[in-house]
Amino acid sequence: MGHHNKLGIVTGWGATSENGAISTNLQEVTVPIMSNADCRKTGYGPTRITDNMLCAGFDEGKKDSCQGDSGGPLHVIKQNSTDNVHQIAGIVSWGEGCAKPNYPGVYTRVNRFGTWIKSNTVDGCYCSED
């Protein structure tokens, strides 16, 4: 089971608009995570989005990660969590501009790299693979 149809929270210090200045305050935006099948129906087309990626954003644009946010987290609140446990679902990677209609943000799909992450970190607290 993936994270599609969930809301993702992106935080970062990047630009607040395309070609804008880097923010001096930490920014946060909530965006819907879509399935890869739906993402392949966007302006990216059927071949640019791989299984190692996930997409999040609104069809009409408006809200997105932007330049300077790369490497930052896209996290979700764990389902059935009574204490608001956040899980990192993605890492800000790339996109076509910022908040453009029909071009959601593209993120590295973290659960595809769980084994590598666990083997390269010590004493971590790990989330489930879903």
Domain containing residue 67: CATH number:
2.40.10.10
Q: How many domains does the chain have?
A: 1
Residue 124 located in a structural domain: no
Does any domain span residue 96? yes
Q: What is the pTM of this model?
A: 0.88
pLDDT at 82 exceeding the cut of 80: no
| Residue 1 scores a pLDDT above 60 | no
Residue 51 lies in a domain: yes
Question: Is residue 125 included in any domain, yes or no?
Answer: no
> Is pLDDT above 80 for 3?
no
Tens digit of each residue's pLDDT (9 = 90 or more) over 22-58: 999 999 999 999 999 999 999 999 999 999 999 999 9
pLDDT classification of 129: cutoffs 50, 70, 90: low
Question: Domain range for residue 41?
Answer: 7-119
Please report the pLDDT score of residue 63 as a whole number: 95
CA distance 126 to 130: 12
DSSP string, 25-37: S-EEEEEEEE-HH
For tokens 């501009």, what's the residue?
97
Residue 2 falls inside a structural domain: no
Residue 126 lies in a domain: no
